[in-house]
Amino acid sequence: SLCSFFFLSSWQPQMVPFRGSHWQTSLLAFRASLPMRAQPKKKKKVDLKREQAQKDRMKKKIKKLEKAASEMIPIEDFITPLKYSDSNRVRSLPPLSFEETERRVLLMKKWGLFKQKQDEAEKKAIQSLVEAQQEALKELRLESEELYQAAIRRDEGLFPFERDGPNYTPPLPEYDPPEGKCVDITKVYTQ
């Protein structure tokens, strides 16, 4: 319409460009100045509410699932696999004779006594160790308080203490162990 105005006013003495309506704030930006905001405003409000409701429903569902989903992790040691309850698995051995049961009972009694003696000896040895250390610390205190305090301080570097336990035979020099791969198939459960 601007062009038509120019055309129509071409025969006027002065060509003055002027706006078509009071909404047209600038001459060049035509489409943006008109009030075109009615539709998007409605969408925002309604959508916001709908989206909020949807989110809440999802959260409720998730909470319900979380509450119900704490299954116990099965302890595999306590569950006997079904294949071991077959009757053909039962071992067939002759019943124990009277002498054998007697021998076993007497051996258990002997074992009890052996272990008791072993335990007493261990306790005595530990007692002797503690006494020796107490005596040493007492004498040290008589000598110098400073050395005594240094001695009773905790040794931070002592633990953790690791050591490879004794085996049945000493290590064989230049032994080449056979190759192999150990694959761990334990089942790992997550809650």
Is 147 one of the binding residues for another protein (CB under 8 A)?
yes
Biggest CA pair distance of the chain: 142
The C-alpha atoms of residue 23 and residue 34 are separated, in whole angstroms, by 6
Is the CB of 15 or the CB of 132 nearer to another protein?
Answer: 132
With CB under 8 A as the contact rule, which of the stretches 13-21, 33-41, 50-58, 125-133 interacts with another protein? 125-133
Tell me which residue of 148, 123, 125 sits closest to 136, measured CA to CA: 148
Do 2 and 27 contact (CB within 8 A), yes or no?
Answer: yes
Binding window for another protein (CB under 8 A); candidates: 29-37, 48-56, 64-72, 131-139: 131-139
What is the x/- site pattern for another protein, positions 75-114, by CB under 8 A?
---------x---xxxx-x----------x--x--xx--x
Residue with tokens 């969408």, as numbered in its chain? 43
Residue 90's alpha-carbon distances to 26, 34, 84, in angstroms, are 100, 94, 9
135 binds another protein (CB under 8 A): yes
C-alpha span between 25 and 19 (Å, rounded): 8
Sole binder of another protein in the list 11, 158, 160, 176 (CB under 8 A): 158
Q: Is 152 in the site for another protein (CB under 8 A)?
A: yes
Count of chain residues binding another protein (CB under 8 A): 44
Computed from CA positions of residues 87, 89, 95, 99, in that sequence, does the dihedral angle turn out positive or negative?
Answer: negative
Residue placing its CB nearer to another protein in the complex, 7 or 161: 161
Q: Which long-range contacts (CB under 8 A, 24 or more apart) does 39-43 make?
A: none
Which positions touch another protein (CB under 8 A)? Answer: 84, 88-91, 93, 104, 107, 110-111, 114, 125, 128-129, 131-133, 135-137, 139-140, 142-145, 147, 150-155, 158, 161, 163, 166-173
